[in-house]
Amino acid sequence: MSLTAVQYGVGPIGRRLVETAVARGIAFVGAVDVDPSLAGTDLGEAAGLAEPLGVSVTADADAALAAGPDLVLHATSSSVEAVEPQLVAAMAAGADVVSTSEELSYPWRAHPAVAERLDAAGREHGVTCLGTGINPGFAMDVLPAVLTTPCRSVEAVRVERVQDAGTRRAPLQAKVGAGLSVDEWTATVGADGGHVGLPESAAMLAAALGWTLDAVEETVEPVVADERVTRDHVTVDAGAVAGIHQVATGVVDGEAAIELDLSLYVGAPAPHDAVAIRGVPDVDVVVDGGFHGDVTTPGVVLNAVPRVRAAAPGLATMLDLATPHVDAGAGR
Amino acid sequence: MSLTAVQYGVGPIGRRLVETAVARGIAFVGAVDVDPSLAGTDLGEAAGLAEPLGVSVTADADAALAAGPDLVLHATSSSVEAVEPQLVAAMAAGADVVSTSEELSYPWRAHPAVAERLDAAGREHGVTCLGTGINPGFAMDVLPAVLTTPCRSVEAVRVERVQDAGTRRAPLQAKVGAGLSVDEWTATVGADGGHVGLPESAAMLAAALGWTLDAVEETVEPVVADERVTRDHVTVDAGAVAGIHQVATGVVDGEAAIELDLSLYVGAPAPHDAVAIRGVPDVDVVVDGGFHGDVTTPGVVLNAVPRVRAAAPGLATMLDLATPHVDAGAGR
């Protein structure tokens, strides 16, 4: 019998989750989105699938959740405060939840009260809630943690992630401010703090390594294009903003023990993910080309489903669950 | 209160386990080795530590296990058939067991009856037994499995591991036949099959990916030195054997879906571990310098201890346990 699911959030990421979930044999029984232009649309059509799924998108979450799905796939907002009532409603309907909300990947440090309430809701309803994705959720937290497995001791972890935003979805380019002037960028993207999730990754990594963080410091700055760059969804003129360079530093005993360095801009050369562990022994790893965010987030989310289904009730993190790997049996 | 342990096997690997365990605060209450030259020696002295540990090495396993340790660290033999009675005795004494026996990392395919009996012994005594190390246990199985986490689907996994045996412990050089003539190598190392564990890694990886193996095919051949090579513990003349090149191929639906390619010889240039995943998307990763086996096996073993302590009773594999990472709290 197929696993049943409600898709909560049918934006660009939600649509990719639907595509991957259908490929895994998951049966959708409902879909929620507040966008009026999607109301009444078949979820398969909204997700760009060749076949309709026989499920209409609605803004009425209660109505959709009334189907009593096994699982809710959730992709609405980065903010754990914004998504809390949505997640609680999903859990109250008896569903395990996997969400791409960046702050949900490790809310225990920045939003401990929300984390406590979500954990309690999961325990009350006997279901598990997880926030994950490629970043946060894997590239800058789970992968570096796993790479410390052969170490006798670790002093510092540095992760560098370089992505060409020109190969990413259009909303991501807007999120990093591609095409804006520096002043426009400063008033919008810069003021909002850029990409969400680096402090969550730093906190999850610190918890895994048994480190107590004195502080997590974060900087975000615009990357300005030297020359005109054209990609599928965007053109950036010379002198305009191409994207962001963002660094989160986890301070332990006064030292910068964790450094997460993210460059996400249109035209970034030689995309890659690199992990450098200083310890006994050092571990230096490069992922050639890097993990492409739009392509890999659905993989991380759907591959987590069997482990979330098997986990103890409550709010989980990726590092609480069993060792992750591809799991094409997610729909079984 | 410290975790108490018995060291079962005080050879080169066992000594490194002791060193790392002591650094983690584990308290040894016994030590077992059949080598008459070690009988009565203090374990700290046998392990080359600066201080004695107040525990003598004995060939009498029952006497050592009578101390009722929380944990047995085991390093005696690659063969799961050879170690079965040792592991059962340790479990019967109420100890969780972490062993470097290569075949124990995943005995379910090649030795299912032994695996069943060990699993039953663990359940009977309420303890957990794990076989692990850097290879098998991490470099060619756990790490490639984890690296599939972002994938929507996977078609093939190739792992290449190149180690300079000249920087490894002397018994390892003997194991790969460094310094032998090709005829001597063929009659000894070649006849014995070389390094133990590649088929176990292939089987563990296949199980993680949900693949059914038609067969695991393995080849081992001598690597012959072009010119004279000198290292700490060994000199290899031109024309003599420098070590091994060994390949295990996991066949799924008639295709070579898993390929594990190990080069382990004195003077191997540019040591590294490389993982190449063909799927959606491809994942290509290189570990610069590679994971040095002698240095990293104690890390993998000791970092597994807290997860083994927390695991359900029975015979576990690395992929059954929670997500691995360095865990300096192993002795707490």
Contact between B210 and A321 using a beta-carbon 8 Å cutoff = no
Give domain A142-290's CATH architecture.
Answer: 2-Layer Sandwich (3.30)
- Which pLDDT does position A1 carry in this prediction? 65
Per-residue pLDDT tens digits for A138-191:
999 999 999 999 999 999 999 999 999 988 888 888 889 999 999 999 999 999
Do the Cβ atoms of B325 and A208 come within 8 Å? yes
Specify the pLDDT at position B329.
Answer: 66
Architecture of domain B4-133+295-331 in this structure: 3-Layer(aba) Sandwich (3.40)
How far is Cα B91 from Cα B94, in angstroms, rounded to an integer?
5
Chain-centre distance of CA A263, in angstroms?
16
Query: Do B281 and A296 lie within an 8 Å CB cutoff?
Result: yes
Distance from CA of B183 to the nearest CA of A (A): 36
Q: Is the ipTM of this complex over 0.95?
A: yes
- From CA A75, how far away is CA A8, in angstroms rounded? 6
Give B213 to chain A, closest Cα distance, Å.
16
Model pLDDT for residues B164-195, shown as the tens digit of each residue:
998 888 888 888 999 999 999 999 999 999 99
Hey, is the C-beta of B143 within 8 angstroms of any chain A C-beta?
Answer: yes
pLDDT in tens, A51-100: 999 999 999 999 999 999 999 999 999 999 999 999 999 999 999 999 99
Q: What is the pLDDT of residues A245-261, one digit of tens each?
A: 999 999 999 999 999 99
pLDDT, greater one: A292 or B330: A292
Q: What is the mean pLDDT of residues B252-273?
A: 96
CATH 3.30.360 domain locations along chain B: 142-290
Whole-number pLDDT of residue A329: 66
Residue B331 has pLDDT above 90, yes or no: no
- In this prediction, residues B305-330 reach a mean pLDDT of 92
Q: Where in chain A is the domain with CATH 3.40.50.720?
A: 4-133+295-331
Residue A148 is nearest to which of B284, B295, B326, comparing CB atoms?
Answer: B326
